[in-house]
Copies of this chain bind each other. A is one copy, B any other.
Amino acid sequence: MKPRIRRSNIDRRALLKTLAVLPTLSGTLLTASAEAETAPPGGVLPSWNNGPAKQAIVDFVRATTDQASPKFVPPEERIATFDQDGTLWVEHPLYSQMIYCLDRVPVLAAEKPALKHVEPFKTVLSGNREAMAKFTMPDLEKIIVTTLTGMTTDEFDAEVKKWLATAKDPHWKRPYTELTYQPMLEVMNYLRANGYKTFIVTGFGQDFVRVYSQKVYDIPSEQVIGSALNTKYGYAKDGKPILIKEPKLMLNDNNAGKPEGIHLMIGRRPYAAFGNSTGDRQMLEYTKAGDGTRLSMIVLHDDAQREYAYGPAQGLPDTKVGTFTQALYDEAKKDDWTVISMKNDWKRIFAFE
């Protein structure tokens, strides 16, 4: 199977670094059950400290939903978009979907033993993390494409569901779906309570995120935009129509692909957008450049105590997962995006704390 992915912003260095430190491919046992909470009794955004970030959100909602406001936005135009990895949930040390792909390799090898003798699958199966750390980008693409295609969309959904029910983040020892940021769940609820439609706009696969988006974020699958592989319509042996996931990238929902994907799937410019890395830059620019009051916010991972600290802004190390460069920080300041400091702006990070 020859991968036909032509563009990708999956960062090879980040993946290699991470492969070298991951304790095991995944855990087992726990059941995913993180759910978005409803509006709390203690006022809006209770997990946010008072400060410019919280104020920016409250001011934005007031300006765009008060009928008397000159910046009032009709309900049907209230669109808010959220990057997922690093913005709504933990992306360190490795994107959850990449871990899913690696975890699928032994399962696939059991079904197709020939894979055991073919690179890069042989190395993944060996568990030799030093060897994995030498994977090239084509190696990683082979893993992604092989583990995400060749099955029906229903089969894929069932596989992801099964994985989510047992896989655990090695650091937190919890299901990945519990590693959502409580303050961001509150922002989504607050916006929805004010007539906004919330969308996820992820660089990773939309089919993957759609499996849990309703349960975890209260966002239906049609409001999840992400990178998408082709599907091909056909018929199963019993004559029933099926859709097969094909190894051809249709939408790379990263960088310029984010506003392009937003146009494809939503057809209008968001009024609010939330991101955390260079992959979100164009979405944040595009949002902020619209008429009226627009909100672009960017999460800075500066909390080594409670989560992680990374990104070169403010001298933090650049790990290449969720890159937040100095140039991006400068653009945020210049274009009036609001930087969210996890350390200073968030009272609580996870619901389980």
Contact = CB atoms under 8 A, between A and B. Distances in A.
Contact of A259 (B76, B233, B286): B233
A35 interface: no
Interface in A226-241: 228, 230-233, 240-241
Contacts of A250: 250-251, 264
A124 to B, nearest CB: 29
A48 to B, nearest CB: 28
Contacts of A256: 232-233
A282 interface: yes
A153 interface: yes
Given A231-B260, A231-B263, A250-B251, 15 more contacts: A197-B222, A206-B267, A221-B266, A222-B265, A230-B260, A233-B256, A233-B257, A233-B259, A233-B260, A240-B289, A241-B282, A250-B250, A250-B264, A251-B264, A265-B265
A209 to B, nearest CB: 9
A214 B78 CA distance: 14
A260 B231 CA distance: 6
Q: Please state the number of chain copies in the assembly.
A: 2
A233 B259 CA distance: 7
A148 to B, nearest CB: 14
Given A76-B220, A282-B233, A263 B197 contact: no
A235 to B, nearest CB: 9
A286 B220 contact: no
A11 to B, nearest CB: 21
A182 to B, nearest CB: 23
A348 to B, nearest CB: 28
Give the 6 A-B CB pairs with smallest separation, nearest first: A221-B267, A233-B256, A222-B266, A210-B267, A241-B286, A241-B289
A141 B125 CA distance: 50
A246 to B, nearest CB: 10
A236 to B, nearest CB: 10
